[in-house]
Every structure is written in structure tokens, then in C-alpha cells.
């Protein structure tokens, strides 16, 4: 929630909708493309790593290059934050779905962390959707 800089103002007259393009996190000029450098130069700010567009009701009273800090959200009670969770690769059902696993004695042979049965008999003859199984764990969009 550091300083964000206004890079572009989108208006209903020019673009058909009203939005602000904001930039965050300074980066090296040599790692920036020329089209983006044109936007940064017009707003008179250093090159920024993250450029996002936010729809707003009106862009009145906002200037290019203006710095927007977290104190602009002083009257907001709740903020939803969306990001990508840490990727943990392919994992089994015990780690991914919190399955308890099979017991370790009484004839259970080398299947202590397997998922078990995944379907019914001849009907419906398929694995139903959203079945909890092993697979890609993490690297998903999470909102807090």
C-alpha cells in the first residue's frame, strides 16, 4: 500500500469509461519498454514495475503524477486483498485435502497415504466433478 502514482486518466469522452491507471514499485529504466516509458515520461514519474487500471466514478481533481497513499482509504472499513498463494507443486491427498490416511497395521499394505475409492459402481460410470484428489497445490488466487 505504498505510494501509487497516477499515470493516466481515462475519461468517458475519450475512452468510453472512467478509470485511473496507477503505478507502483520503482524499477530500472533499462528493464522498461519504450511504450511504457512514454507513459511514465508524460506523468513525470520514474519507471514503475506494476501498472494497473482501476475504474472510478470520476477523475475530477486528480492530476497526472499525483501520489496516492494508503491514507486515501481512511474512511473505508473493509478492504478485500487478492493475491496468488505460494505454489507447492504436485502433492498428495493428505497434504492437499487434509485426508487422515489409512491405518498403519492389520493388513494395510503400502497404501497409507492413498486417497481411496474415487467412484461408484456401473452407474454413473464416471468420477464426479470436484472430487478431492491429489494434484496441483497452491499457486491459486486467494482473497482475504
CATH number at residue 46: 3.30.160.810
Per DSSP, 124 falls in state: T
Per-residue pLDDT tens digits for 118-138:
998 899 999 999 999 999 999
Total structural domains within the chain: 2
H or E, element range at 38: helix 34-43
Range of the domain at 103: 80-114+132-144
**Is pTM, for the whole model, over 0.75?**
no
Shared-domain flag, residues 92 and 63: no
Mean of pLDDT values over 64-75: 89
Would you put residue 39 in left (φ > 0), alpha (ψ -120 to 50) or beta? alpha
Per-residue pLDDT tens digits for 12-45:
999 999 999 999 999 999 999 999 999 999 999 9
The pLDDT, as a whole number, for residue 72 is 81
Dist. CA 61–CA 21, nearest whole Å: 15
Amino acid at each position: 500500500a505504498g505510494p501509487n502514482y497516477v499515470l493516466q486518466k481515462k475519461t468517458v469522452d475519450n475512452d468510453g469509461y472512467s478509470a485511473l491507471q496507477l503505478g507502483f514499485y520503482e524499477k530500472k529504466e533499462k528493464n522498461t519498454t519504450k511504450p511504457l516509458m512514454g507513459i511514465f515520461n508524460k506523468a513525470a514519474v520514474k519507471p514503475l514495475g506494476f501498472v494497473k487500471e482501476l475504474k472510478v466514478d470520476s477523475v475530477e481533481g486528480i492530476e497526472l503524477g499525483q501520489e496516492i497513499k494508503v491514507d486515501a482509504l481512511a474512511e473505508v472499513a473493509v478492504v478485500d486483498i487478492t493475491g496468488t498463494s505460494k505454489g507447492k507443486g504436485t502433492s498428495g491427498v493428505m497434504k492437499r485435502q487434509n485426508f487422515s490416511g489409512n491405518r498403519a497395521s492389520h493388513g494395510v499394505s503400502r497404501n497409507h497415504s492413498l486417497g481411496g475409492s474415487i467412484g461408484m459402481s456401473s452407474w454413473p460410470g464416471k468420477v464426479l466433478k470436484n472430487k478431492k484428489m491429489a494434484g496441483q497445490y497452491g499457486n491459486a488466487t486467494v482473497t482475504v
